[in-house]
Amino acid sequence: MIQVSHVSKIYNTGEVETVALADVSFNIKKGEFVAIMGPSGSGKSTLMHILGALDTPTSGSYVLDGEEVAKLSDDELADIRNRKIGFVFQAFNLLPRTSALKNVTLPMMYAGIPKEKRTEIAEKYLKMVGLSDRMDHTSSQLSGGQQQRVAIARALSLNPAIILADEPTGNIASAQADEIMAIFQKLNEEGHTILMITHEPDIAEHAKRIIHLKDGKIVEDGNGHKQRIIWNTQK
Amino acid sequence: MEYTEIIEEAGITLTLNKLRTGLAMLGIIIGIGSVIALVSLGQSSQASVSNQIESLGANLLTVSPGSQRGGFVQGGFGSATTLTLADAEAIASSPTATDIANVSPEYSKRAQVTANGKNTNTSITGVRAIYSTIHKVSVAEGVFITASDDARQAKVAVIGPTTANNLFATTDALGQSIRIQGQSFKVVGITVSKGGTGFGNADDVIYVPLSTAQKTLFGSTSLSSIAVEAKSATVMTAAEDEIGYVLLDRHKISSPSQADFSIFSQNDILSTASSVTGTFTALLSGIAAISLIVGGIGIMNIMLVTVTERTREIGLRKALGAKKKNIIAQFLIESIILTFVGGVIGMGIGIFASFIISKVISLPFTISIGSIGLAIGVSGAIGILFGWYPAQKAANLQPIEALRYE
């Protein structure tokens, strides 16, 4: 599903070169639930941007669902994001003063799906995340957890190859965070590929596989369960 | 993504901040409104001037006295006394002047007129019977000056409707007597209104027999003008030449450049008048066009603010798959709606304003399809022109940067 090979990202700010990612390689198979962890400055946001086709690597190759993404133009990247990636952001990023339903239809609008079909699909996914009674609410009328559920419905709307969640519970009260994680786990059980960035170990625990980043390099890549045992023994 | 949807969405966005939207439109409203109003008034006054001039008579040439040139001193225009009744008769009877139909010698001077205890200052024109034919003057009541009136220096007057109203507000003026420079005249006719206004109003006149005006009233032997009607519009130039040769010969002047008279046709007056009103219209429209540009800059300003305010939204839209053209379309359509709606409102206000103004200064109200089309086209074009840069700016935002923007 995802093949990242020898990806580097170097930022040139004046005369100083900052290496955000240094020769990172890994594969993610269909149906995996992967958490990417690391302290701030470890390059996990940069990796997330590249995996989300929001940015391109300085060197290396990134193949998503059989398409090489590394060398695409802005509009081609927009198309990849639209068709293959479902984003869930930390800050929810719903359109203000716009109904939950309209928010969910937004990616489908850019995909050129006719209006009636869009509404039908959006209603289906909002029902799935348990918001069937709040479809006409605007984001300011919804709690953080509800907003994030709208964002998940939006991410699912075009049935993407991969769901990319960037600190999905970072702005949510813990009780609601558990609900969100339960949704992600359910989606994974249904066969969705999920890639989640987090710095909270107990959130990462929900994943089957955890990739640890430090200073732009992968320092650990393994089974989530095994790592949990290591931490527990270290404690 | 269909355009009706983008338009709908842009409409919703614009109604969210009504005050700002209204203020942004204001520049365009004023700009388009003033262009429409000024162009309309310009056309109205042009039409009114040419109507008025044409109503004074077609195929008409006017011979005016002028000072003799070539000397050291040149008299003021129209002050000269070089035209006489004999000149007029010579033009009428000349065997060479074959393109001339009618000749009307005229003597005109402003004087004080009293009647019924009322007092007015108006133009007294000494005319012959032929005047009414040449100048298309018809009487509503009574009769016009006749040849026999002129022959016996009769103290009779035909007055314009405005003069009649000034002197006899309520009573019928016909048969009443008026005093011109202390001499009593009997009103024998009232002319039909020609609908003029202001100074030189064709309705505020008193016609008396030419002989009476010259001998009895003003004691003059000269004429203030000779009106000559050519046989048709096509022989105007030939008629002008014929008159010129007769008069040059009579006045013993060898070169036309030294002529002590001037001849101009209705067309000359018409084209002068239209070029004057045309220049004014162009000038005022130019000023209005500048206000349109200022309005356009206002739109651009607001759109740039909007793009900055909605940076996160743009980032999100791009992250979810919006291509550059989608973002450009969204913002360009917003600015086009701003200018287009502003243009339509401005057009309404402009038409209303020119309607009111033309009523107030009694001009015919005209509004051309051309200026409406122009206003709509221009306002749309301003939306594209001044919305393009902000839309480009929005479309070129990098999604990561835009999402991070606080």
Q: Is A95 on the interface with B (CB under 8 A)?
A: yes
Q: Is A90 on the interface with B (CB under 8 A)?
A: no
Boundaries of every domain in chain B: 3-52+272-404, 83-250
pLDDT at B195: 67
Token pair for B181: 């420079």
Burial zone of A14 (CB within 10 Å; 0-12 exposed, 13-18 middle, 19+ buried):
exposed
Whether B321 sits inside 8 A of A107 (CB atoms) is yes
Q: Is B406 on the interface with A (CB under 8 A)?
A: no
Q: Is A22 on the interface with B (CB under 8 A)?
A: no
- Residue with tokens 């959006």, as numbered in its chain: A122
Helices A74-84 and A100-110, packing angle to 10 deg: 130
pLDDT above 70 covers a percentage of chain B that reads 94
Nearest-angstrom CA–CA distance, B399 and B318: 6
Under a CB-based contact definition with an 8 Å cutoff, are residues B14 and B387 in contact?
no
Per residue in B385-406, pLDDT (tens digit) is 999 999 999 999 999 888 887 6
Under a CB-based contact definition with an 8 Å cutoff, are residues A33 and A204 in contact?
no
Query: Average pLDDT for residues B83-98, to the nearest whole number?
Result: 88
Q: Is B403 on the interface with A (CB under 8 A)?
A: yes
pLDDT at B39: 85
- Residue with tokens 């016009």, as numbered in its chain: B144
- Residue B225 in 3-state DSSP? strand
Other Cβ atoms less than 10 A from the Cβ of B48: the count is 21
Nearest-angstrom CA–CA distance, B299 and B329: 16
Q: Is B6 on the interface with A (CB under 8 A)?
A: no
Whether A111 sits inside 8 A of B321 (CB atoms) is yes
- Residue with tokens 């020898």, as numbered in its chain: A6
Query: Average pLDDT for residues B113-125, to the nearest whole number?
Result: 88
Terminal Cα-to-Cα distance of chain A (whole angstroms): 35
Nearest-angstrom CA–CA distance, B181 and B157: 13
Q: Which domains does chain A have, with CATH numbers?
A: 29-54+83-234 (3.40.50.300)
Under a CB-based contact definition with an 8 Å cutoff, are residues B110 and B123 in contact?
yes
Per residue in B180-197, pLDDT (tens digit) is 988 999 999 999 887 655
Of B1, B318, B325, the CB nearest to A109: B1
pLDDT at B71: 44
Nearest-angstrom CA–CA distance, B105 and B227: 6
Whether B320 sits inside 8 A of A54 (CB atoms) is no
Per residue in B48-75, pLDDT (tens digit) is 777 777 766 668 888 988 754 444 444 4
Q: Is A117 on the interface with B (CB under 8 A)?
A: no
Under a CB-based contact definition with an 8 Å cutoff, are residues B66 and B261 in contact?
yes
| Stated pTM of the model | 0.72
Whether B326 sits inside 8 A of A55 (CB atoms) is no
Order of strands, sheet of A194-197, starting from the edge strand that comes earlier in the sequence: A85-88, A162-166, A194-197, A33-37, A209-214, A217-223
- Backbone torsions φ then ψ of A146, nearest 5 degrees: -65, -40
Give B80's pLDDT tier (boundaries 50, 70, 90): low
Closest chain B residue to the Cα of A102, Cα to Cα:
B9
Q: Is B312 on the interface with A (CB under 8 A)?
A: yes
Whether B403 sits inside 8 A of A93 (CB atoms) is yes
Q: Tens place of pLDDT for every residue, chain A, 235 residues?
A: 899 999 999 988 878 888 999 999 999 999 999 999 988 888 888 999 999 999 889 999 999 988 899 888 999 999 999 999 999 999 999 998 899 999 999 999 999 999 999 999 999 999 999 999 999 999 899 999 999 999 999 999 999 999 999 999 988 888 889 999 999 999 999 999 999 998 888 888 889 899 999 999 998 888 765 555 555 555 4
Those residues whose C-beta lies under 8 Å from the C-beta of residue B83, and which sit 6 or more positions away, are: B63, B64, B65, B222, B223, B224, B225, B226, B261
Chain A environment of B326 (Cβ under 8 Å): 110
Start-end of H helices in chain A = 44-51, 74-84, 100-110, 115-128, 144-156, 174-189, 201-204, 224-234
Give B327's pLDDT tier (boundaries 50, 70, 90): very high
Whether B319 sits inside 8 A of A115 (CB atoms) is no
Q: Is B17 on the interface with A (CB under 8 A)?
A: no
Per residue in A23-81, pLDDT (tens digit) is 999 999 999 999 999 888 888 889 999 999 998 899 999 999 888 998 889 999 999 99
Closest chain B residue to the Cα of A77, Cα to Cα:
B321
Mean pLDDT of chain B: 86
Whether B323 sits inside 8 A of A55 (CB atoms) is no
Whether B403 sits inside 8 A of A89 (CB atoms) is yes
Closest chain B residue to the Cα of A46, Cα to Cα:
B400
Start-end of H helices in B118-216 = 131-134, 147-151, 161-167, 210-211
A167 DSSP 8-state letter: S
pLDDT above 90 covers a percentage of chain B that reads 37
Whether B322 sits inside 8 A of A110 (CB atoms) is yes
Q: Is A72 on the interface with B (CB under 8 A)?
A: no
**Pairing between strand A194-197 and A162-166?**
parallel
- Residue with tokens 């907003």, as numbered in its chain: A147
Burial zone of B394 (CB within 10 Å; 0-12 exposed, 13-18 middle, 19+ buried):
buried
Of A49, A79, A115, the CB nearest to B321: A79
CA separation, residue B247 to residues A167, B63, B64, B77, B244 (Å): 104, 10, 11, 18, 5
Please tell me which of B42-46, B145-149, B197-201 the model is most confident about, judged by mean pLDDT.
Answer: B145-149
Whether A109 sits inside 8 A of B319 (CB atoms) is no
Under a CB-based contact definition with an 8 Å cutoff, are residues A88 and A163 in contact?
yes
Q: Is A81 on the interface with B (CB under 8 A)?
A: yes
Nearest-angstrom CA–CA distance, A16 and B303: 36
Phi-psi region of B159 (alpha: psi -120 to 50; beta: other; left: phi over 0): beta
Chain A environment of B317 (Cβ under 8 Å): 106, 110
DSSP B252-278: T---GGG-SEEEEEHHHHHHHHHHHHH
Residue closest to B5 by CA, chosen among A108, A104, A115, A120: A115
